Amino acid sequence: MTLTPPVNPNTKHPLGPNHSKVKQLNNIDLYECNTALHFHALQLGSLILNERRIKISVRGTIFETFERTLETYPNTLLGNIYKRDQFFDKGLGIYVLDRCVYSFDSVLFYYQSKGTLAKPPIVPREQFYEELNFYEIEGFIDERHIEDLQFLKQNNKKIGDLPNGNYRSSIWKFVNYFNDSFFQIIYTNINLAVTILSIIAYCLETVPSLKNNKTWIQIEIITGILFSFEFIITAYSSPNLKEFRCSLNIILDFMSIIFCVLHVTFYFSALKNKFAVAIQFVRVIRIFKLTKFSVALRLFIYTLYKCSQSLQVFFIAVGTFCFVNAALMFLIENEFNPDLEKNQFQSILDSMWYSIITATAVGYGDVVPTTSLGKCFGSFVAVTGIIVFCIQQPVLVNHFISIYYLPEVMSKVDTLRKRAIIQMRQTLLGTV
């Protein structure tokens, strides 16, 4: 039997002008290639044919890749043959994994692209982190979580650097490491009690019957001295004065001390000008000192900052909603009301007030529609207002919960990570 390749009439040889006949062996014509292109093609084909392929079944979906591709990262689960073999099914001759298919597609692309890792849109971030931990892929952080982790690091003083010197270091730990020892618990509780006492005194001194009581100025002086002492020892023991000066909590503490001093000065000088009244009002910022003792409160403020863009859209939508309802209510009450003397909607501003208190389900009742059509429209505003104001709630809650459990979700400890994911799902979806 003679094997003859198809003849190309436009060329000298059957395989083309770049081939020449060498010899004939067992009635088979042998040709040699005169170009490097054909040689490399044959060489590449032999490499692909000789390379070992691996099949991986992920919940019924078969993935196939080269073993050399997985060995790019030998410290991972799939890149290490000893770790990978525990999932090998000898009967089927493939690896079997009971994991998320969509996440595995991204994981496999991570090996094929040599480091490019992208979370599928359909997979929640917490679940994707869990999948990466299973495959032992480390170092991946969602871009949206980089700023969150930086915020959590700044709020966890134990992660940061310690000041030089044992004495300063001891003071820094005592002031910032809450509840690490019995004396630190006492210090924290005293500091919290003084802060709450100053807020209560600030409120009670505005009561007309208690306004002239000298107890409030005495409490103001004592709390001001304690706040100043705390500020001085914190500044003295700070490991980084630049970060210390730029810290929002430190700025608020410093401002509360300054306004406390000004308030005491104006009190004893008997000055009652507008500046003294302004100082009296600005003293309210001391309530933000409570954020020092509550991680959840700081996290809530940070969540509002992170959701500022969506909140802007929300307020614009609410403003538009209230304005349209106010304009319609004004037209209804003025065009369909036979008794204009009883009409309480004399302008769109009056209607705007009614629209806001109705949409927020407050309903003071000082302004009410009198026409039947106006009452029906008011009921519509009340129902739709509840829906409109509930739209933003899931965004804030989801972001707050995801940041609150982020350190545990990214933890390398299995028990902490799994517990955090379960708590997140129970919080967001409710316990079953």
Q: Which residue has the tokens 């871009």?
A: 143
In this model, does residue 21 exceed pLDDT 60?
A: no
- 331 or 152, which is more confident: 331
- 176 or 131, which is more confident: 131
Q: What are phi and psi of 31, to 5 degrees?
A: -120, 155
How buried is residue 310: exposed, middle or buried, by Cβ count under 10 Å (0-12/13-18/19+)?
middle
Three-state SS string over 219-275 comes to HHHHHHHHHHHHHHHHHHHCCCHHHHHHCHHHHHHHHHHHHHHHHHHHHHHCCCCHH
Mean local confidence (pLDDT), 198-209: 86
Report yes or no: 79 and 119 within 8 Å, Cβ to Cβ: no
The predicted structure's pLDDT at residue 155:
61
The predicted structure's pLDDT at residue 4:
41
Kindly indicate the confidence band of residue 134, based on its pLDDT and cuts at 50, 70 and 90: confident
In this model, does residue 26 exceed pLDDT 60?
A: no
Mean local confidence (pLDDT), 139-165: 60
Mean local confidence (pLDDT), 408-417: 54
The predicted structure's pLDDT at residue 316:
92
Q: What is the pLDDT of residues 93-124, one digit of tens each?
A: 899 999 989 989 989 988 888 888 778 888 87
Mean per-residue pLDDT of the chain: 76
Report yes or no: 66 and 52 within 8 Å, Cβ to Cβ: yes
In this model, does residue 426 exceed pLDDT 60?
A: no
Mean local confidence (pLDDT), 46-71: 81
Could you give the percent of the chain with pLDDT greater than 90? 8
The predicted structure's pLDDT at residue 417:
52
In this model, does residue 323 exceed pLDDT 90?
A: yes
Q: What token pair was written down for 219?
A: 């409490």
The predicted structure's pLDDT at residue 251:
84
Kindly indicate the confidence band of residue 192, based on its pLDDT and cuts at 50, 70 and 90: confident
Long-range pairs for 385-390 at CB < 8 Å and ≥24 separation? 385/321, 385/358, 385/359, 385/360, 385/361, 386/359, 386/361, 388/317, 388/318, 388/321, 388/359, 389/318, 389/359, 389/360
Q: What is the pLDDT of residues 223-273, one digit of tens each?
A: 889 888 888 888 888 777 777 777 777 888 888 888 888 888 887 876 666
In this model, does residue 376 exceed pLDDT 80?
A: yes
Report yes or no: 381 and 322 within 8 Å, Cβ to Cβ: no
In this model, does residue 132 exceed pLDDT 70?
A: yes
Kindly indicate the confidence band of residue 422, based on its pLDDT and cuts at 50, 70 and 90: low
**Whole-model pTM over 0.75:** no
- 180 or 65, which is more confident: 65
The predicted structure's pLDDT at residue 81:
87
* Mutual angle of helices 143-155 and 393-404, in 10-degree steps: 60
In this model, does residue 17 exceed pLDDT 60?
A: no
Q: Give the number of other Cβ atoms within 10 Å of residue 222's Cβ.
A: 14
